[in-house]
Structure 1
Amino acid sequence: MLAATLSVAATSPAFAAWHEARTKHFIIYSEQRPAELKTYAEKLERFDAAVRQVRGYADPPLTDGARLTIFDLPNIVAVQKLLPRQMNAAGFYIPRASGAVAFVSSSDKSLGGSLRADHLLQHEYTHHLMLTDPESPLAAWLVEGTAEFFGTAEVEKNGGVKIGFPPQGRANTILRDLGFSAGDLLSGARPKTDLERSSVYAKGWLLTHYLAFNQARRGQLGRYVNGLARGEPFAKAAVAAFGDLKQLDKEIDVYGSKTFAALRVQPGPAPTVEIRRLSEGEAAIMPMRIRTDRGLRPVDLPVVTEQTRAIAARYPDDPAVLAVLAEVELSARRFWPAVAAADRALAKDPKHIGAMITKGRALLGEARGKGSKADWTEVRRWLIQANRADTENAEPLFLYYQTFQAAGQKPTADAIKGLYYAHVLAPHDMGLRFNVVRQRLTDGEIPAALRSFAPIVANPHIDLDKRPKLLEALQKMQANDAAGALAAIEVDYRARQGDPVD
């Protein structure tokens, strides 16, 4: 996540005119005027198309569960109210199987200094796209360097997209050659200081840009990534692909003082954007939905529950309102009230996929810890029903697999198959990815486990100094020791006091 944030103001009795924009890849909720929102959505689609073209990403049809949901908030203050006090961000992105979400503010064009709101969202969305390959091995510098490379793209009025502009906020690190060298990055060095962390972004961008435009080194990045995919240590893969790393450092230093080239992607067909004004009930519940989709903290639950129940009492026939009520009740671990609210939503809209999933999650929550005494057939029935309603939604598949773990039962072949397909649909969800790795290791499928595990270890936001068992698990996989790798991962889970399936 880049350092930047948002906030949600309480809605006044005269509810703001919230609109929803739907495109092929995005669902956007905003108080922008429809014409402005349409332009905003079109730019995002143009950006998506440009990245896919340059990177060669596939573009399969998506259902709502796979689209990125964006909450466009009134200002940065609203964004920041959604974050812990110690965090200061202008926007953020949450990758998860239940549907990736981003919280931004398009109204604040500049976020202070040289950071722009559109660049922030483009940076985070590039992360989202990079993980569309569930087994893509990524180094930390490549994760952030690529996001910076595409993040500064400019969408032109005619629909063309220019890519490769330098991140102005990183200029000092690039020009003064601060922090990590290119050799450090390629060899997998982990940042320990703020300057080193900054250089992962800045030097990562510089290295990414250089390799993208330098014809003499064409193909080297691919060889490097393929080496990581085979489980080679970072340093070995780097030398095999790039040769003398000190020579590469010299080339990068010279390159950083020159004028940078930009790549222009020609405009494609005009994106389709569907815009509708939200109902009065949807607008009234939007502040509660935003907070719920962000994830409710225990301290927030009493106030949010009270306000959500009050809104639901005013709009008892609005399934969108009732679905949020069900989610709030579930967040407070009031499982049967959550089931009741979901049932009310489904009575009004039998195809409401969110209410189906929430009911399944509530039934799963109620069944946990009861072992054979729980009605697992009923729990799974609702998750199967949700899957049939949207076969391309990762969450019901993942939850179905989790029911076997919660019941202390061995997952069936169908449950395992569903887990792996959920991973294909939502490779950005790290919790889901961990479960895939664990299942692969349990079944002795070490190469597949390693491919799924590599992006976890490369994640620059995971502090491996605090989680050394992850590195141990990687080393065990590279040594073809499935049992040792699985044991290390389990110790990591226990140390974090987290349930592997949560």
Structure 2
Amino acid sequence: MRFLVTAAAALMACAAPASAAWHQAKTRHFLIYSKQSPADLKAYAERLERFDAAVRKVRAMPDPELTDGARLTVYVLDNSQAVEGMAGQRGVAGLYLGRASGSIAFVSPDMSGLENRRMKQPDLVFFHEYLHHLMLSDQKGAIPAWMVEGGAEFFGTAVVEPDGAVSFGAPPYGRGWLVLGDHGFNARQLLTQAEAFDGLDQISLYSKGWLLSHYLTFTPGGTRQLATYMRGLNSGKTPLAAAEEAFGDLRALDRNLDRYATSRKFNALRIEAGPAPVVAIRALGAGEDEIMPYRIRSDRGVDVQGARSIVTAARRIGARYPADAFVQGALAEAEYDVQNHPGAIAAADRALAADPRNVQAMVYKGMAFAELARKEPAKADWANVRSWFIKANRADVENAEPLYLYYQSFAWAGQRPTAAAIKGLHYAHALAPQDDGLRLASVRQYLADNDSAAATRLFGTLVFDAHGRRQATLTSAYEQMKAGKAKEALAILDQEEKKNTKGRG
């Protein structure tokens, strides 16, 4: 079971399957599932790849080969209401979840909401969130909140032209009044990581963050100033000291930004089209097509009631397709979600009989055995549990989830992790840095091993988060890490975890 969403919301998102057939598009960076026509799906997949290639070129990012476990899975739902149901919130045009088990996004082909004649609202949301995905995958240190959100806004308003070229630099018109007006944070507050006082401050992380990102991109010497600021921030300097070293008089910078905004002359950066992206499209098999709505709901995450409704349907479909690895893998997850661990193991076995390299089946078989071992410690066979995570890792060496689960199995068993498990944990984080829980586990292990420097590099992202999770406890732990006090920092995190566990109980 993944991140929880209420049963009612999930049911709204995936009602009775529509008549159109599901297709899969596989590209270098994406696995896309959609009921669009093959031609429309191909065009959509090419647009996403064009965006990815342009961002990587501008940011000088590497582009390693990815396995299925590392590709971003994109579910194209029927309409914007379906996306809202997945998010459990109205007015949401797209949803992205970064996870060790595989990052996923939910979008809609409903293009009724337009920012301007060329920018489609679902593309804006997806491009913004995908930029976060890419930024974290190429992270070399802590990134301040204004840069996280402002940079995502800068790239998120990209326009993919008919000839395949991509242009960056268009203003975020939905926030234009904040970009052009003196609202929310000023430059000093942005650069020094000031706490948001109200909603205008929070939104200005996006709008003024976009303005500052645009200004530094197109103003001579701006990228050099930004590099100096980031070096200072990640070398232990206070945000104010790093900002003043890079930009000098911050009041003068603020005046320059005001003039830049009111000029309304915003340059664009055009990246010419490269080779046509390779897109492989296939129609899903009958069993895959039938179970897909339930697979999507399960992948998004469900509560107890939702899990029960899914497993009922999954069992019915699974009975009709006992030799379909995709169906049986989905059934294994559904059985696990209702805590029917023998049923999950049986479904996983059927999936593996059809496809011996089915990673989902291996993972859920190992997880089901782990739950049985935790319930009956006297009968626990942790070597068997771990063998399935090892097999899953060998089947897809770039998949973070088996490595993370292997590491977690030692805590479940009340044992100290081995050196191999610790190495696997840190590599898992390198593969899936978008997962905050995995990041925190890696930080804690570095602290346990008295490596404050490594912990500090990873933890800054959590401290500077723009979505309300920044708190005094995290800041206090971060200061201890920067001071080289690993034991003290870990004690703070342990105390916070105990408090949260007690609150959940």
TM range (shorter): over 0.9
Is 1:425 aligned to residue 428 of structure 2?
A: no
Instruction: State the shift of 1:379 in Å.
Output: 0.5
Instruction: State the shift of 1:175 in Å.
Output: 1.3
* Structural RMSD (CA): 2.0
SS in 2 for 1:166: coil
1:460 aligns with 466
1:494 aligns with 498
Is 1:177 aligned to residue 199 of structure 2?
A: no
Deviations 1:243-275 (A, max 9, x none): 111111111111111210000011111100000
TM-score for the superposition, normalised by structure 1: 0.94
1:71 aligns with 75
Ranges in structure 1 where 5+ consecutive residues have no aligned partner: none
SS in 2 for 1:276: strand
1:364 aligns with 370
Is 1:247 aligned to residue 252 of structure 2?
A: yes
Distance of 1:323 and 1:256 partners within structure 2: 53
- Residues 207, 150 of structure 1: alpha-carbon distance in 2 compared, 3 angstrom cutoff: same
Q: Does the 8 Å CA contact 1:148/1:167 hold for their aligned counterparts?
A: yes
Instruction: State the shift of 1:343 in Å.
Output: 0.9
Q: Does the 8 Å CA contact 2:93/2:121 hold for their aligned counterparts?
A: no
Q: Does the 8 Å CA contact 1:231/1:450 hold for their aligned counterparts?
A: no
Q: Does the 8 Å CA contact 2:184/2:204 hold for their aligned counterparts?
A: yes
Is 1:94 aligned to residue 85 of structure 2?
A: no
Instruction: State the shift of 1:372 in Å.
Output: 6.5
Instruction: State the shift of 1:192 in Å.
Output: 3.3
The one-letter code of the counterpart of 2:453 is P
The one-letter code of the counterpart of 1:375 is D
Distance of 1:29 and 1:303 partners within structure 2: 22
2:450 aligns with 444
Distance of 1:31 and 1:268 partners within structure 2: 28
Instruction: State the shift of 1:369 in Å.
Output: 5.8
2:165 aligns with 160
1:59 aligns with 63
2:358 to 352, 369, 373: 352
SS in 2 for 1:188: coil
1:211 to 212, 216, 230: 216
Deviations 1:398-439 (A, max 9, x none): 111111111121111111111111111111111110011001
Distance of 2:502 and 2:269 partners within structure 1: 44
Distance of 1:320 and 1:183 partners within structure 2: 53
Q: Does the 8 Å CA contact 1:437/1:452 hold for their aligned counterparts?
A: yes
- Residues 135, 359 of structure 1: alpha-carbon distance in 2 compared, 3 angstrom cutoff: farther
Q: Does the 8 Å CA contact 1:75/1:108 hold for their aligned counterparts?
A: no
Instruction: State the shift of 1:134 in Å.
Output: 4.9
Deviations 1:171-208 (A, max 9, x none): 01111111011110100012231111111100000001
Is 1:435 aligned to residue 437 of structure 2?
A: no
Deviates most, 334-343 or 157-166: 334-343
The alignment of Structure 1 onto Structure 2 pairs a total of residues equal to: 492
TM-score for the superposition, normalised by structure 2: 0.94
2:238 to 206, 226, 233: 233
Q: Does the 8 Å CA contact 1:160/1:264 hold for their aligned counterparts?
A: yes
Distance of 1:389 and 1:260 partners within structure 2: 48
SS in 2 for 1:159: coil
The one-letter code of the counterpart of 1:255 is Y
1:141 aligns with 146
Distance of 1:245 and 1:498 partners within structure 2: 44
The one-letter code of the counterpart of 2:367 is R
- Residues 298, 97 of structure 1: alpha-carbon distance in 2 compared, 3 angstrom cutoff: same
Instruction: State the shift of 1:314 in Å.
Output: 2.4
Is 1:20 aligned to residue 20 of structure 2?
A: no
Q: Does the 8 Å CA contact 1:46/1:161 hold for their aligned counterparts?
A: yes
**Mapping for residues 304-319 of structure 1, pairs under 5 Å:** 304-319=310-325
Instruction: State the shift of 1:24 in Å.
Output: 0.1
Distance of 1:367 and 1:112 partners within structure 2: 53
1:471 to 471, 475, 487: 475
Ranges in structure 2 where 5+ consecutive residues have no aligned partner: 1-8
2:267 aligns with 261
1:82 aligns with 86
Instruction: State the shift of 1:115 in Å.
Output: 6.8
SS in 2 for 1:29: strand
Instruction: State the shift of 1:215 in Å.
Output: 0.6
Is 1:333 aligned to residue 339 of structure 2?
A: yes
1:186 aligns with 191
